[in-house]
Amino acid sequence: MNNSKLDNRWKMGIQKDAGELLMLCYERYREGKETSIEEFKKVSGWDDVRIKNAGRHLFKTGLVYGPTSDQGDFKIVEVLPEGIRIVENEEIFESTFGIKLNLGVLSFSWDIRKKNNYKSILNI
């Protein structure tokens, strides 16, 4: 496997996906809102497996809290203190998730139109 394939795998891995999911959950948590798989799917266009893997990573690392099922379904009702600390510290966020973070300009892997209009997509 050449290095470019390894680089692409890193850019599209579970850890990076978890960082993007955490950012959306953080923004919604600040607004007093929860985040479900269905809501995240509307915004990101990701498939269930990708979302569930990212969510599982956040739950297992103790960054978020909410109900889960044996099938991998979840609802994130709270971003825990460690998750907040990571999101609010750009260097820690980048070293944890491999994503350059600028809280003023979020860089998601999904369509920029959707990124900028996630509130209208979720009808909030």
Q: Any idea what the CATH number is for the domain that residue 88 is in?
A: 1.10.10.10
Distance (Å) of CA 58 to CA 3, 17, 104: 27, 10, 23
Task: Say what the pLDDT of residue 26 is.
Answer: 94
> What is the pLDDT averaged over residues 98-102?
77
Task: Say what the pLDDT of residue 25 is.
Answer: 94
User: Any idea what DSSP says for residue 98?
Assistant: S
> What is the pLDDT averaged over residues 58-69?
96
User: Any idea what DSSP says for residue 32?
Assistant: T
Is 115 within a domain? no
Task: Say what the pLDDT of residue 101 is.
Answer: 73
> What is the pLDDT averaged over residues 14-43?
92
Is 122 within a domain? no
The whole domain housing 72 covers 15-106
User: What are residue 75's DSSP bridge partners?
Assistant: 36
Is 67 within a domain? yes
Is 3 within a domain? no
Q: Taking 50 as the threshold, does the pLDDT of residue 2 lie above it?
A: no
